[in-house]
Structure 1
């Protein structure tokens, strides 16, 4: 697993020009960056190192690879148009992994303008940079939250996502539509990945596993929403990274068969997962095995050797009871198959947490 820095960092000559990774000091972005560097790629990392959560955690992630000979870092904000233009102009990236965003579903209710500035305006600046430099493939982060009010399980990319329940989800849905329009207008091969409940070492402090671990070790109660009646496609970060790295090598093409005929209609409608008019694809990326939240907590209790005190609470506004990922399309495209179950993944996180916080 990738919970610790590689002992022997790859020092091969970079392959095929630099890859721009936005959010390179973030949870998923730092794991992706380390993997790309280990594979011999040159990486330009962009991160604003903001204070949404402890900046030290971001700095420590960055320190794992900041001195790698094939890594160059830019500290700056996606919403800074001049900066993003300068990054593309100077480094001329061939491929882009766009992971930077204002994260957190619930934080959006308190700071909506931050989400639009980062997730919408910032993504526009990335798309413009891709257009100006003729990027060969843009892979960008979306989220399972776009499924919103959809209750059909498992969630499929071929289903409608017209009813997001949070502003965060709405900004990510906007990103998907913006990417399609740019793919069509400027022939920018673009792939969106809808992440499902990613967890693992170096995770964000506002995520459930992090919050639960901290509270249980301190003897404090954990907040269990919807009275624990949740199911989630918990996905270990290494499985996410593997999918990103593989799909980055496969820029999409327009698909002639990307229409479907609903049973109650006689005319064909566009398939949300692909496009006849643009090099564009959307994929779910997650674990097909959906796990009950209470089971997740049980695994954590076992690893910590301590029982949790639980404060049972109702469903939060904008939250969905269950998620379940259909990854059939991604499996067909890149032979995607998550390898890490929750027992192994939670154990890896707890080991990292104890090491990092001397807990």
Structure 2
């Protein structure tokens, strides 16, 4: 049985990673501060699915707390790895309050790296983002595309975290895998992400607020595929940056049309000017994930979107009230 510390355990991707680790018989120490960056009811929903599980323990803590992180890693040792999926996410939110993004995404990562060094944790996984590629990235985007001109504090903070990871690999031999996730969706997803928001808005007959002309495109990937790829990165790799996601690309207009079909209701689209922080397109080149990890997405967009809609309908009594504006 392996033993892992997973940060952001009540988060969208991390909760599924925890479930998959537990399903294969590993022990998971989950950490989350349950912050109110988005409606905390979703975090409690995910966490409540984990708490009864054997071999899962939970600590309510902020990874920007240096002493707290150090004490927890020391008390949890020996660990087979730290999977750092805790983050302040969201390109637009980072424009409004960039300081908290630096505290969590950079300082929090540094605290975990230093604790890994001090207490002999040899494997470190960092969740990064496709937003790091900025404007005019080649499509599909390979890992060696320029990433030194971020468009928002969110992606800038992730670039800083990546740089710290490389420094700890170089100085101390820490085995690091950095995953740059592309647009992830699925049941109990983040309510600030377009797939969840539009599912709720269309189902409840609310206005669907669309920034831009809707022809911006995204490479959507189902959360199970992302979580499975993350676990594949736990093997020794030295230092690698690997894209995960983006295998089925559609425009936002096409996404709305599909949701209308699955939900059986017409969207009431209200158009707004494009947001400067938004990327016009993203699509991952995942040839590196295929070569190094043997990773291939398994859940197609049609199936994944239906699963999301089915989940929403099953949980509608409370999911309809989740804050998405």
Question: What is the TM-score when the length of structure 1 is the normalising length?
Answer: 0.86
1:64-103 alignment, distance < 5 Å: 64-92=49-77, 93-103=79-89
The Cα of 1:314 is off from its aligned counterpart by 2.7
Q: Which residue of 2 aligns with 1:6?
A: none
Unaligned runs of 5+ in 1: 1-14, 253-278
1:45 counterpart = 2:30: yes
Q: What CA deviation, in whole Å up to 9, does each residue of 1:210-241 have, x standing for no partner?
A: 11122112222212222101111101001101
The Cα of 1:291 is off from its aligned counterpart by 1.6
Give yes or no for contact 1:134–1:188 (8 Å, CA) kept in 2: no
User: Of 290, 298, 307, which aligns to 1:339?
Assistant: 298
The Cα of 1:169 is off from its aligned counterpart by 0.4
Q: Which residue of 2 aligns with 1:156?
A: 142
Give yes or no for contact 1:115–1:168 (8 Å, CA) kept in 2: yes
1:120 counterpart = 2:106: yes
Question: What is the TM-score when the length of structure 2 is the normalising length?
Answer: 0.95
1:323 counterpart = 2:282: yes
The Cα of 1:150 is off from its aligned counterpart by 3.3
Inter-partner Cα distance in structure 1 for 2:233 and 2:65: 28
Give yes or no for contact 2:84–2:124 (8 Å, CA) kept in 1: yes
The Cα of 1:130 is off from its aligned counterpart by 1.0
Equivalent position SS for 1:333: helix
1:1-359 alignment, distance < 5 Å: 15-16=1-2, 18-92=3-77, 93-248=79-234, 250-252=235-237, 279-358=238-317
The Cα of 1:300 is off from its aligned counterpart by 0.8
Give yes or no for contact 1:179–1:190 (8 Å, CA) kept in 2: yes
The Cα of 1:53 is off from its aligned counterpart by 1.8
The Cα of 1:136 is off from its aligned counterpart by 2.2
Largest Rg, 1 or 2 = 1
Give yes or no for contact 2:218–2:246 (8 Å, CA) kept in 1: no
The Cα of 1:78 is off from its aligned counterpart by 0.8
Unaligned runs of 5+ in 2: 321-325
Give yes or no for contact 1:95–1:136 (8 Å, CA) kept in 2: yes
Inter-partner Cα distance in structure 2 for 1:51 and 1:200: 20
Computed over aligned residues only, the root mean square deviation of the Cα atoms, in angstroms, reads 1.2
The Cα of 1:196 is off from its aligned counterpart by 0.4
Inter-partner Cα distance in structure 1 for 2:166 and 2:179: 13
Q: What CA deviation, in whole Å up to 9, does each residue of 1:16-51 have, x standing for no partner?
A: 3x1000000111111110110011000000000111
The Cα of 1:317 is off from its aligned counterpart by 1.2
Give yes or no for contact 1:19–1:96 (8 Å, CA) kept in 2: yes
Equivalent position SS for 2:128: strand
